[in-house]
Structure 1
Amino acid sequence: MHSITSLILLAFALTLPAAALVTRQANASTITSVTYAHGTVLGLTLGLTETFKGIPFAEPPVGPLRLRPPVPISRNLGTFASDPSPRACPQFSSQVDTKSLPAEVASLYKSTPFGQVIANAGEDCLTLSIQRPAGTRSSAKLPVVFWLYGGAFATGSTNSYDATSLLTRAKALKQPVLFVAANYRLGGFGFLPGAAVSRAGASNLGLRDQRAALEWVQDNIASFGGDPDRVVIWGESAGALSVFDHTVINGGDHTRNGKALFRGAIMNSGAVAPTQNVSHPKPQAVYDSVLRAAGCAKAVDGLECLRGLSYGAFVNAVDSVPAVFSYRSVDLAYLPRPDPADGFYNVSPEVAIVEGRYARVPIIVGDQQDEGTLFTLTLSNVTTTSKLEAYLASMFWDATPAQIAALVKTYPRDPGAGSPYNTALTNEIYPGFKRVAAILGDLTFTLSRRVYLAAVANNIPAWSYLSTYLYGTAVLGTFHGSDILELFYGGIPWPLPAAAMETYYISFINHLDPNAIRDGLIDWPRYTPEGRKLMNFQQALSAVIKDDFREDSYRQLAQSPQSFRL
């Protein structure tokens, strides 16, 4: 169970919490400034990178603006200093009880964004951060990558991501890029569901925050040396789900004032997440629970009652429902939900792709091999087939018992067939762990990606991947979020995966093709529904493989994806 690889990872992971989530500092820095439409922001030049943090893109969503769509900044901010640690939006991630886990698994969990505690959080959080190569002029017209963080729509912030490595490699490849990351409201602040929310035009506020930030980029990024006509949106986990959502918002119209807000999309571990409407009884129960916890259940106007609460009281109310590392796992209380009464985001994602209501832009989308392991650590009583089917039925209200049974049947009870994959009988930390992990990973990420590509890959340029470079890591395998360790937190101790991903992504950001600048890497073939070719990022090399694993499970899901709405 404890391989040499795992022990190396453990030693590496133990160094992360103290340093990985903090922007890299240099001994010496200089002040730099940019004047744009709303003022002059003072940033810092650290080594080869200039950084501007905490730039407001919307008015603080506090007081009467709580639970309302973002109001874009229109006033002059004067001259203001970049904030080295900008406030995060309120955080709502339940923490795993790591005392029950093997020591190296606990350490790896704590090294992920889910395992971090972000203390500097509050409602006045709608800011973005910009990083660019030192010396960039306003006339540079660099391609822009717009980053959306993950965290199950419950946690995360711009301050957790430093793009220095990406910018450094891009400069070395003579393909410079400009990096933008935006905060957006989380949990019940950004994704409170319910019929009253729909009637008030206040659904999917977190997505609206992201859209407002994209519009700010269109209006202002040229002052920082970016090209508003060459924006690629990129996200991981909840951020990847959000990236997909921006391709189907407004029926797939991704333009504003006749100009596209983005021209390409990258999705790490997330794409299509079929979801119930915002007013469906399941999400409505979340709203009702929040009102009861807030003491607003008998109020004439529940939303106004929530707006009138103190910050602490509102945090406690929206935190009264299960979060991602509770027993509900990926059955999230708060996430984007279609609102048929509103034209912004009005149909479930799987409907949008079938009807062709999506932006025709090139995409990269892919997964970690063991997406489900991290989300299965808390499900130790789901130990039999009957318990597993009952659990899935409680998660997917529209799936019939026959559909659930047929899906479960495609996943053998043999631990050797489960996730983490290719580890024989090891890593079964409780009876059925590997089987549950396989199912949750496929439904939420891996096979839903294949359903997505089957619908769109003949219509748009698409490239897809599967990462296996953490094969052998105890219990977790190549787990959800481990690509973030690779790309932002200094890299796991194998240089190839991070270098390969960065190079392909830099090529895509510049040219909408990961193969335009390969720097010695192998060709990444386009994905087609017929060929189904995946790039496989391994420890010591990259290879092309076929996207045909667990085909029986895929067919069950593809027959009726709408039956598996969360």
Structure 2
Amino acid sequence: MKVSFFSLAVGLLAQLGSVHAAPADPASKSNLEARSVKVTVTSPAGSVVGRSLAGVETFSGIPFAEPPLGPLRLRPPIRLNSTLDRFDATGIAAACPQMFLSTEAENVLIDALGDLLTLPIFRAVNGREDCLTVTVQRPAGIPADAKLPVLVWIFGGGFQLGSSSMYDATGLLTNAKNMNQPFVFVAINYRVGGFGFLPGAEVLADGAGNLGLRDQRMALEWVADNIESFGGDPGKVTIWGESAGAISVLDMMVAYDGDNTYKGSPLFRGAIMNSGSIVPTQDIDVPKAQAVYDLVVSNAGCAGASDSLACLRNLDYETFLRAANSVPGILSYNSVALSYLPRPDGDILTKSPDVLVAEGKYAAVPMINGNQEDEGTMFALFQRNITSSSHLVDYLSDLYFQGASKKELTDLVATYSWRPSQGSPFRTGLLNVLYPGFKRNAAILGDLVFTLTRRVFLKAAKTANPSVKAWSYLASYNQGTPILGTFHGSDLLQVFYGVLPNYASRAIQTYYFNFVHNLDPNVGVGGFPAWPEWLPERPKLAWFFNDRSDVLNDDFRQKSYEFIESNVRALHFRDEGGDARSRWGL
């Protein structure tokens, strides 16, 4: 197998779950400690001891909230009320409880990726509930008063898995320092799956909705309070995320109707969103959401309890974990019809994000938002029975958009050609037809959740705040990867890790470092073409290949885009009533 495909497959599984973060054994930790030097920082939160290695100082797993254990399970985070005293931040930050691959998903991925799934790097991460932490990395030796800009990373994983420990910014920090554009990096942990995004009327009444978003917000407040002691400038924070992390970045922008201030100052001044923006959703207690809660309660043995939410809180960890993970996952037939995701709760999310953006109720900061060319391919691996237009309409109606009529969904599907040459992976002709209809299914899923939704978001945001600058991109650097193309998550290897040190990784990292320092990807280090600003009247993208970049008009699949834009309310992930459990396959 070619090294390039291996790297991309690692990127795929890094996005989806549990690579790079298998639990370290004592011997490996001893080796790490032997090669590193300890360093101490004292901040308002207390003193923490980290490690210095390869020119980067790392402080892992610093708690920002009380452990959400026992009666604090399924409750909003409570700020840590004790002062840290030489807290050991030299290890690996614990992941929050994870929702792993189903057997079905594993079998399909084995078909697509072969023996890669048997490698040790794909061992599952063992999560734990005591996980609300941040990890800080900075260039070694910077003074406490360095006032460097700060880049805060929010991991992805479909709101069901992922952790901060999967992302080591050593390469990013080294490259930035070599360009004379150093910064401080922060990765935050937040609750995922049923621990962080359990919906339902009971959750709403208890004020316990969107806990994962509340974790993220509190982590940003920790940054505001403490990052100056690590050499960062709390007034120069950029938030960055990929996939569910990018959706979270947008949710941080619309949280509390766009009020991103804390102690009178903004929590962030810029935003970078890779493969994600708005996800239009109905409220946290609609029938489809309630079906998730009811299934978890049933499988937990709490259906007969007078207070089912209290019953869930009182369960032992393993019982609640199994119950929370009993709903369909992202790598399944249900795909991106997510069981767990942010939903309006009347508090941190007062309305669906698309509505808040259109109303101008978001923190209008300069931003970068873009996509991989083939966002939908890996999400279309699981629907081999969907081989006709009518099957596809039924699938979208049953699992995604119960608020849309069959005619509306038929019209949407009709904007996509059945010809394989027009589907995703794009620009591959008649190749990569995994099953009849695969390439059209992949195109539609990618556009509805990521690519064309991005265009809808950018137009709405720029209409509400035309003076705030935005840049967008399309990445095509992995064209030719069988079946998957430039798939969702492939930028993790290219951009975050820079494992493939080609033009794409060098260019995008440079643009991002410029943005972190100057809120403009074109200001700072040069050597690459000017990245055009995205404007509604002249929407243009930077188009990245592995050996060059170009400018692309953001008008591809325009008929599909116009339909989505005109029918966004009908395309909320929602349910209008009826037997949600049976229609959702529960």
Instruction: Check conservation: 2:377, 2:439, Cα contact below 8 A.
Output: yes
**What is residue 153 of structure 2 aligned with on the other side?**
147
Letter in 2 for 1:461: K
Instruction: Please provide the CA RMSD for this pair.
Output: 2.2
**What is residue 61 of structure 2 aligned with on the other side?**
54
Instruction: Check conservation: 2:541, 2:552, Cα contact below 8 A.
Output: yes
Report the Cα distance in structure 2 between the residues aligned to 1:215 and 1:108, rounded to whole angstroms.
Answer: 40
Instruction: Check conservation: 1:10, 1:104, Cα contact below 8 A.
Output: no
What is the CA-CA distance between 1:119 and the residue it aligns to? 2.5
Report the Cα distance in structure 1 between the residues aligned to 2:252 and 2:158, rounded to whole angstroms.
Answer: 17
- SS of the aligned residue for 2:150 comes to strand
Instruction: Check conservation: 2:269, 2:365, Cα contact below 8 A.
Output: yes
- SS of the aligned residue for 1:78 comes to strand
**What is residue 79 of structure 1 aligned with on the other side?**
86
The CA deviation string for residues 465-497 of structure 1, in whole angstroms up to 9 with x for no partner, is: 0000001110000000000111334423x5111
What is the CA-CA distance between 1:543 and the residue it aligns to? 1.0
**What is residue 3 of structure 1 aligned with on the other side?**
none
Work out which of the residue numbers 510, 516, 521 in structure 2 matches 1:509: 516
Report the Cα distance in structure 1 between the residues aligned to 2:142 and 2:191, rounded to whole angstroms.
Answer: 31
**What is residue 190 of structure 2 aligned with on the other side?**
184
Report the Cα distance in structure 1 between the residues aligned to 2:256 and 2:8, rounded to whole angstroms.
Answer: 42
Q: Does 1:531 align with 2:538?
A: yes
Instruction: Check conservation: 2:197, 2:340, Cα contact below 8 A.
Output: yes
Instruction: Check conservation: 1:93, 1:325, Cα contact below 8 A.
Output: no
CA 267–389 in structure 1, closer or farther in 2 if over 3 Å, else same:
same
CA 300–20 in structure 1, closer or farther in 2 if over 3 Å, else same:
closer
What is the CA-CA distance between 1:11 and the residue it aligns to? 4.7
Letter in 2 for 1:221: I
The aligned runs of 1:117-196 (5 Å cut-off) are 117-196=123-202
Report the Cα distance in structure 2 between the residues aligned to 1:562 and 1:410, rounded to whole angstroms.
Answer: 18
Identity of aligned residues (%): 50
The aligned runs of 1:26-105 (5 Å cut-off) are 28-95=35-102, 97=105, 99-100=107-108, 105=113
The aligned runs of 1:532-551 (5 Å cut-off) are 532-551=539-558
Instruction: Check conservation: 1:105, 1:475, Cα contact below 8 A.
Output: no
Work out which of the residue numbers 421, 427, 438 in structure 1 matches 2:432: 427
Letter in 2 for 1:337: R
CA 506–21 in structure 1, closer or farther in 2 if over 3 Å, else same:
farther
CA 107–465 in structure 1, closer or farther in 2 if over 3 Å, else same:
farther
**What is residue 318 of structure 2 aligned with on the other side?**
312
Instruction: Check conservation: 1:57, 1:127, Cα contact below 8 A.
Output: yes
**What is residue 470 of structure 2 aligned with on the other side?**
462
The CA deviation string for residues 445-484 of structure 1, in whole angstroms up to 9 with x for no partner, is: 0000000111112242100000000011100000000001
- SS of the aligned residue for 2:383 comes to coil
Report the Cα distance in structure 1 between the residues aligned to 2:202 and 2:335, rounded to whole angstroms.
Answer: 26
Report the Cα distance in structure 2 between the residues aligned to 1:558 and 1:144, rounded to whole angstroms.
Answer: 35
The CA deviation string for residues 88-146 of structure 1, in whole angstroms up to 9 with x for no partner, is: 001103256455568774467899xxx94442311000011000000012101110001
Instruction: Check conservation: 2:7, 2:493, Cα contact below 8 A.
Output: no
- SS of the aligned residue for 1:488 comes to helix
Gaps of 5+ in 1: 1-5
- SS of the aligned residue for 2:84 comes to coil
Matched residue pairs, number?
556
Q: Does 1:473 align with 2:481?
A: yes
Report the Cα distance in structure 1 between the residues aligned to 2:122 and 2:344, rounded to whole angstroms.
Answer: 30
TM-score (norm 1): 0.94
- SS of the aligned residue for 1:562 comes to coil
Q: Does 1:391 align with 2:395?
A: yes
What is the CA-CA distance between 1:528 and the residue it aligns to? 0.2
CA 557–164 in structure 1, closer or farther in 2 if over 3 Å, else same:
same
Report the Cα distance in structure 2 between the residues aligned to 1:46 and 1:26, rounded to whole angstroms.
Answer: 9
The CA deviation string for residues 229-273 of structure 1, in whole angstroms up to 9 with x for no partner, is: 100000000000000001111111110121000001000000010
**What is residue 363 of structure 1 aligned with on the other side?**
367
Report the Cα distance in structure 2 between the residues aligned to 1:286 and 1:15, rounded to whole angstroms.
Answer: 31
- SS of the aligned residue for 1:324 comes to coil
Letter in 1 for 2:408: Q
- SS of the aligned residue for 2:547 comes to coil
Instruction: Check conservation: 2:276, 2:450, Cα contact below 8 A.
Output: yes
CA 298–19 in structure 1, closer or farther in 2 if over 3 Å, else same:
closer
**What is residue 303 of structure 1 aligned with on the other side?**
309
Q: Does 1:352 align with 2:356?
A: yes
The CA deviation string for residues 173-224 of structure 1, in whole angstroms up to 9 with x for no partner, is: 1111000000000001000001110110000000000000000000011111
What is the CA-CA distance between 1:10 and the residue it aligns to? 2.9
Report the Cα distance in structure 1 between the residues aligned to 2:117 and 2:527, rounded to whole angstroms.
Answer: 34
- SS of the aligned residue for 2:569 comes to helix
- SS of the aligned residue for 2:570 comes to helix
CA 19–151 in structure 1, closer or farther in 2 if over 3 Å, else same:
closer
- SS of the aligned residue for 1:454 comes to helix
Report the Cα distance in structure 2 between the residues aligned to 1:106 and 1:503, rounded to whole angstroms.
Answer: 35
Letter in 2 for 1:399: A
- SS of the aligned residue for 2:534 comes to coil
Instruction: Check conservation: 1:514, 1:524, Cα contact below 8 A.
Output: yes
CA 345–11 in structure 1, closer or farther in 2 if over 3 Å, else same:
closer
**What is residue 484 of structure 1 aligned with on the other side?**
492
Q: Does 1:401 align with 2:406?
A: yes
CA 390–108 in structure 1, closer or farther in 2 if over 3 Å, else same:
farther
Letter in 2 for 1:332: L
CA 202–14 in structure 1, closer or farther in 2 if over 3 Å, else same:
closer
Report the Cα distance in structure 2 between the residues aligned to 1:277 and 1:101, rounded to whole angstroms.
Answer: 33
Instruction: Check conservation: 2:19, 2:122, Cα contact below 8 A.
Output: no
Work out which of the residue numbers 342, 366, 375 in structure 1 matches 2:379: 375
What is the CA-CA distance between 1:163 and the residue it aligns to? 0.7
Report the Cα distance in structure 1 between the residues aligned to 2:298 and 2:7, rounded to whole angstroms.
Answer: 44
The CA deviation string for residues 342-400 of structure 1, in whole angstroms up to 9 with x for no partner, is: 3x211001101111111110010000000000111111111111110000001111111
What is the CA-CA distance between 1:441 and the residue it aligns to? 0.1
Instruction: Check conservation: 2:373, 2:487, Cα contact below 8 A.
Output: yes
Report the Cα distance in structure 2 between the residues aligned to 1:318 and 1:465, rounded to whole angstroms.
Answer: 36
What is the CA-CA distance between 1:326 and the residue it aligns to? 1.4
Report the Cα distance in structure 2 between the residues aligned to 1:228 and 1:260, rounded to whole angstroms.
Answer: 9
Report the Cα distance in structure 1 between the residues aligned to 2:518 and 2:461, rounded to whole angstroms.
Answer: 20
Letter in 2 for 1:133: P
Letter in 1 for 2:68: P
Letter in 2 for 1:455: A
What is the CA-CA distance between 1:302 and the residue it aligns to? 1.1
Letter in 2 for 1:260: P
